[in-house]
Structure 1
Amino acid sequence: MLLELKDKVQELINFKQEGAYWDFKREWYSKDKIADLLHDIICMANNLENTDSFIILGIDEENSYKVKSVSNDSYRMNTQKLVDFIRSKKFAGGIRPTVYVQAVNFTTGEIDVIVIKNNYNTPFYLTENYRDVYANNIYTRLMDTNTPKNMLAEIHYVEYLWKKRFRLISTPIDRIKYYLEKSDDWVESPTNWETSKKYHNYFPEFTIEFTLEDDGNAYQYYLFNQTDITPHWRKIRLYYHQTLLMSLEGVLLDGGRYFTPTPLTDGISLTQQHNWDIIFKYFIKDTLHNVIHQFYYKPDGDEETMAHNNFKGCILYFDSENEKEEFKQYVLNSWKNKSEYEKDVWVPHFPKIDGYIMEKFKRQYKDVQILKRMLIEFKNKKF
C-alpha cells in the first residue's frame, strides 16, 4: 500500500500543478491556519471525481515542486491527532470524512500525505461553525480550487453530491452491491422450481437468484469440515431488469443448512516454478463477492451458524487485494518455520472417495489452518 501511495504521489508531483483531488502544501498547517485544514479536508471529501483525495505536505510549489522535508515540522500531525481533530467537529449526521496520515520518504526528504478516502456519505458539512468554516455550507473542489469558506458550492454540484449518496450516479453493479449490504430490504419472489429469487423492496428491478438443481458433484477441501460433506453446487445470478450483471458459483453446505458463494482461489509457489505448492480459498472485504457471502448468511444460533463457522474456519479473509499479495510474500518468508504453526492443528475425517486422492485434500486443509495462524500474526504485526 505504501509503495502504491508513493507511486501515486510521485505521479501527482510530476504534473507540477494541483488538481481536482490533490493539493500541495509546503508545510503543515499552523495553529492559526487550523481552520484551513478542516476546510481543505471537507472540500476534498466532497470532490467531484468520486475518488480518494490527497493533501500532500512538504512540496514547495514555488520551487519547482521540490521536496521540503516535514520531519522537523512542529505542527506535524499523525493519524490519531488528525482523526481526533476531525472527530471534535460537529458534522451533519455525525458522519465524518475518513482520513489518515502517511509519511512518504524520498531521497530528498520526508513528506506527509493526508489521504481522504472516497465515501458515499456526501455531502459532508458542519452543523456548527468552526472559526470561519460555516455551518450548513456545502463546500467542494472544482479543478484546483476549493469553494471559498464564505460561499456555497453551486447547486448542480450539490445535487451531484446528494445523488452520489443515494447511488444515483453509480453503475447498476455498484448499486446492487450497495443494496445487497442491507439484506433486510430484499423480498422473496414467487418463482418456479428452478431458482430461489429475491428482489429489492424499493428497487425491484434489481434481483438475485440461485439455481435449485445441483451443478456437478466435485469436492473441495472445505466440504470435509461439515457434518454432511455431500457437494451441492449452484449458480448465483444478479440481474438489473433483464440484464445479467454477474454470474458466480454457489454451494449449499452441510446438507443445505448454509448457502454461500464459493470462495476465490489463489496459491503460493515456493519455488521458481509456476505451479502452486500451497492453495487457499479466500474472500476480500468490501468486494461484491464478499457482500453476497454476507447477504446469504442468516445467523440462527443453531445448524446454519455451525455450518457457517465451520466453513469460515477453512477460508482466509483479507481487507484488500493488496493485503493478500503482501501476505503471500510474508508466507514465502515464513514457510520454513511452518512446524511452529502446525502444532495441535485439528484435521477432520477424510473418507475415501473414488476418483480423488484424499491426501491432497487433507494437505490443503492443513495448509490453510497454518495460513490462518500466519494471517493472524501478519495482521497483528501490521499494527
Structure 2
Amino acid sequence: MNDNINDLLATSEDEYHDFKEQWYSLNDRAELIKDIFSFVNTAHHKDCYLIMGVSDNHKIVGIENDENRLNTQKLTNFLHSLPIANSHTPKVKVKSVTVEDHLIDIIIIKDTIDVPVYLDEDKRPKRCNTTIHAGQIFVRENDTNTSIKESASDYLVERLWKKRFGLDLPIQQQYKVKLQDIGNWKYFETDKIGFLYDIDPDYCMFLEDDNENRYKVESYALGQFRARMGWQKLILKYKDRTIAEFLVVILDGARFMTLTPNLGAIEPLSDTPLTFQYFIADSLEFSVEKLFLSMKQGPTAPDGLQKFNLFQRIVIFDSSRQMNQVKKELSNKKEYIENQCTPSQEEIDKCRSLLSMDFNSNDREMQQPNLMHMCQEANVSQFIIRYLKTM
C-alpha cells in the first residue's frame, strides 16, 4: 500500500482518487455520501481512493488530531444505515499510513458492477442541511463529482448501466460476467448438447466429441472412486462467433464433468521438471469451471466429496502473476520438493489398484513409469496447495 499511496500522492486528482484535508464532520455527512457514491459510480473497473489529510496541492497535513475520523467498521455501519436501492451497499475499507511524519487515512472504495448506486428514499443525515434525494445519481468524471444539488446526465448514467451488464468489456470479459449469473444457465440436450444462457441465448456453449488419442486418466482423477476419464471439447459461442475452446473430461464413472486444468512445471526446461495441474482463478476457463461446479441441473456438478478430492490435486492460483512468483520461489527448493513428492511404493500400488477397475495390465495408463509420474504430479500439486496457504 505504501508504494501505491506514494504514486497517488504524486498524481493529480482524477477518476481514481481525491484529496481531502480533513475528515467529514457530522454537518458534512451528505457530502461524504455524495463523494463515496461518486467513486462507486465510475465507468472504469478499478478501486478508488479518498485520501484524508492531504490538501489539493498535495501537501501532507495529517489527520492525527481529527476528531471526525471513522474506521472501517464505523464507516461501513454508516453506509448500511442508508436507504440504498437494492441494498447495493458500497464496500469500503479505511487504512492508515504514515507519510512525512503525519498520519493519513485512505478510504478504499472497492470496484463493483452493482452500479449505479443511489438512494430509494430521501435522506438528510442528522445535523446536515442538505438532503440526498431518492434516485439522485452522483458520478465521478475526471476529477469532478456531480454537484450535490444535481444528478448525473443520461450519458454518464448510460455508461454505468453498460458497466453493470458488462457491455463495456471485450467479449471474453462479457462472457465471464454472464458465467457468474449461474442461475440463468441451462443444460440442454437436443440435436446438440450444451449450455444456454436463458437471458441472452446469443451466449451458448456446445459439447463436441474429442477424437484425439489421449490418456484416459490424469493425476487429478486419482481421488475419484473411478479414475477413467472421457474427453470432450467445449465450444464457447457468441452468436456464430467462437470465443474460446476448452477440453473437458467426464469423471468418476460419468457422474460429473470438469474442465481440464493446465499443466505447469517447476523448472520446465530441466531434465526432470516437476509437473503440476492448475487453474488461474481470474481466467475465463475457471469462470466456466465454477459454473459447472455450481449448476444444479445437468451432468456437470460433483457432490461435495468429488469436488473436495478433485481440488486436492489441482492448484488454484489467484493470477498468472502469483503462479510465476510461486514457480520462481519453488525453483530454489526443487531438490527438496522432489524428495518430498517422490511417490512411495504404497502410493504406486494404490494407484495401480484404482486403475485396475477400468484398465488392463497392458494398457499404457497402467505402465509403471506412468503410475509413478501421475503419483508424483499429484504430490507436487498438493505440495504447492499447502505452500500457497503459507503465503
> So what's the TM-score if we normalise by structure 1?
0.79
1:180-235 CA deviation, whole Å, 9 max, x = no partner? 2234423445655xx63222223221111222335332343112222222232332
2:287 to 257, 271, 291: 291
Residue 259 of structure 1: aligned partner: 257
Check if 1:356 corresponds to 2:354. no
Q: Would you say the 8 A contact 1:207–1:239 is kept in 2?
A: yes
Residue 80 of structure 1: aligned partner: 73
* Alpha-carbon distance in structure 1 between the residues aligned to 2:186 and 2:328: 43
Q: Would you say the 8 A contact 1:20–1:48 is kept in 2?
A: no
Q: Would you say the 8 A contact 1:257–1:307 is kept in 2?
A: no
Residue 215 of structure 1: aligned partner: 212
Percent identical pairs in the alignment equals 26
225-234 vs 180-189, which deviates more?
Answer: 180-189
1:314 deviates by 1.8
Residue 277 of structure 2: aligned partner: 281
Q: Secondary structure at the match of 1:228?
A: coil
Q: CA RMSD in A?
A: 3.8
1:47 to 27, 42, 45: 42
* Alpha-carbon distance in structure 1 between the residues aligned to 2:272 and 2:66: 48
Q: Secondary structure at the match of 1:56?
A: strand
* Alpha-carbon distance in structure 2 between the residues aligned to 1:49 and 1:84: 26
* Alpha-carbon distance in structure 2 between the residues aligned to 1:181 and 1:322: 23
Q: Would you say the 8 A contact 1:231–1:252 is kept in 2?
A: yes
Within-5 A mapping of 1:227-376: 227-268=225-266, 279-285=275-281, 287-297=283-293, 298=295, 304-305=302-303, 306-319=305-318, 349-351=350-352, 353-354=366-367, 356-376=369-389
1:292 deviates by 0.6
* Alpha-carbon distance in structure 2 between the residues aligned to 1:28 and 1:267: 50
Which residue identity is paired with 2:200?
F
1:77 deviates by 3.1
Which residue identity is paired with 1:25?
K
The runs of 5 or more residues in structure 2 that have no matched partner are 353-364
Q: Would you say the 8 A contact 1:57–1:111 is kept in 2?
A: yes
Within-5 A mapping of 1:25-64: 25-62=20-57
CA separation of 1:304/1:188 partners in 2, compared to 1, >3 Å: closer, same or farther?
closer
Q: Secondary structure at the match of 1:245?
A: strand
* Alpha-carbon distance in structure 1 between the residues aligned to 2:89 and 2:6: 28
Q: Count matched residues.
A: 364
1:271-308 CA deviation, whole Å, 9 max, x = no partner? xx978965443334454222211222346999941433
* Alpha-carbon distance in structure 2 between the residues aligned to 1:31 and 1:277: 62
1:152 deviates by 1.1
CA separation of 1:274/1:180 partners in 2, compared to 1, >3 Å: closer, same or farther?
same
1:31 deviates by 3.3
* Alpha-carbon distance in structure 2 between the residues aligned to 1:49 and 1:376: 32
Q: Would you say the 8 A contact 1:26–1:58 is kept in 2?
A: yes
Check if 1:111 corresponds to 2:104. yes
Q: Secondary structure at the match of 2:10?
A: helix
CA separation of 1:18/1:198 partners in 2, compared to 1, >3 Å: closer, same or farther?
same
* Alpha-carbon distance in structure 2 between the residues aligned to 1:302 and 1:176: 19
Which residue identity is paired with 2:79?
I
Instruction: Choose 1 or 2 for highest CA Rg.
Output: 2
* Alpha-carbon distance in structure 2 between the residues aligned to 1:327 and 1:245: 30
1:146 deviates by 0.8
Residue 196 of structure 1: aligned partner: 193
1:14 to 10, 18, 21: 10
Which residue identity is paired with 2:289?
H
* Alpha-carbon distance in structure 1 between the residues aligned to 2:328 and 2:43: 36
CA separation of 1:33/1:95 partners in 2, compared to 1, >3 Å: closer, same or farther?
same
Q: Would you say the 8 A contact 1:268–1:328 is kept in 2?
A: yes
* Alpha-carbon distance in structure 1 between the residues aligned to 2:266 and 2:67: 45
CA separation of 1:267/1:49 partners in 2, compared to 1, >3 Å: closer, same or farther?
same
Which residue identity is paired with 1:172?
I
1:315-372 CA deviation, whole Å, 9 max, x = no partner? 233555566567668878999998xx99xx9958222733834333222322333443
> So what's the TM-score if we normalise by structure 2?
0.78
CA separation of 1:337/1:89 partners in 2, compared to 1, >3 Å: closer, same or farther?
farther
The runs of 5 or more residues in structure 1 that have no matched partner are 379-383
1:45 deviates by 0.4
* Alpha-carbon distance in structure 2 between the residues aligned to 1:75 and 1:57: 11
Indicate the structure whose relative CO is greater, using CA pairs within 8 Å and at least 6 residues apart.
2
Residue 97 of structure 1: aligned partner: 90
* Alpha-carbon distance in structure 1 between the residues aligned to 2:173 and 2:301: 32
Which residue identity is paired with 2:262?
L
